[in-house]
């Protein structure tokens, strides 16, 4: 961050096998690259202010018997890429992938949460999801704020009947969902729970809430002679 003179940025480290040999049996050393983008916006301001438009994707989330769903592997992004492109082509902001059992897995690159009163529910690895860091952060924040957290299967009818739906991801952070396939979720606008959690998350990540200081890794400011 110091060398690039970034005050705020999105960082993505990538580990991959080197090119000393070709083929699946090649014993190549692991190489690492770190990419950084300043001011990246995964979602538009309209999606945050009005609620994102979600659609059920015709693509299905791959199962853990095909490849590990809990691994953040670059090759697996093809599933998300196809779902996102198809959803955008139909005028939606985000795709919702079901798993092979027909229950909710996750959005293309985000975990799903539903709200009913003071109860918040999200699924786990049994639903073929990536166990996101932001997902875990929101679970901890929600419990600290007094919400009841439930972890388990989510069905499409659960989304449609909920008071609020929001999704979480590293770049997106917390994004409220306004509608599913043209039908409003709750009021059709960002609900109070998603907004409260977003505010709490903002305070935590910027060091304004000392209770979450252990989440942060301070970067020392360079001192030039």
Residues with catalytic function: 72
- Token pair recorded at residue 48: 């945050």
SS (H, E, C) 142-184: HHHCCCEEEECCCCHHHHHHCCEEEEEECCCEEEEEEEECCEE
Other CB atoms within 10 A of residue 206 CB? 11
Give the C-alpha separation, 47 to 194, whole Å: 13
Other CB atoms within 10 A of residue 171 CB? 14
């Amino acid at each position: 961050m110091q060398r690039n003179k970034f005050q705020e940025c999105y960082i993505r480290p990538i580990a991959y096998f080197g090119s000393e040999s070709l083929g699946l049996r090649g014993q190549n050393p692991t190489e690492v690259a770190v990419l950084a983008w300043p001011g990246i916006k995964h979602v538009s301001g309209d999606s945050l202010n009005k609620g994102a438009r979600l659609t059920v994707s015709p693509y299905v989330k791959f199962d853990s018997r095909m490849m590990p769903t809990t691994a953040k592997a670059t090759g697996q992004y093809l599933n998300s890429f196809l779902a996102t492109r198809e959803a955008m082509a139909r005028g939606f902001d985000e795709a919702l992938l079901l798993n092979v059992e027909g229950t909710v897995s996750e959005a293309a690159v985000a975990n799903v949460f539903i709200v009913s009163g003071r109860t918040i529910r999200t699924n786990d690895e049994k639903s073929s999801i990536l166990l996101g860091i932001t997902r875990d952060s929101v679970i901890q924040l929600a419990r600290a704020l007094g919400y009841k957290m439930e972890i388990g299967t989510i069905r499409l009818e659960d989304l449609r009947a909920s008071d609020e739906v929001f999704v979480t991801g590293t770049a997106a952070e917390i994004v409220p969902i306004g509608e599913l396939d043209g039908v409003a979720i709750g009021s059709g606008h960002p609900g109070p729970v998603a907004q409260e959690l977003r505010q709490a998350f903002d305070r935590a990540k910027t060091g304004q809430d000392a209770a979450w200081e252990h989440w942060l890794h301070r970067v020392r400011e360079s001192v030039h002679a």
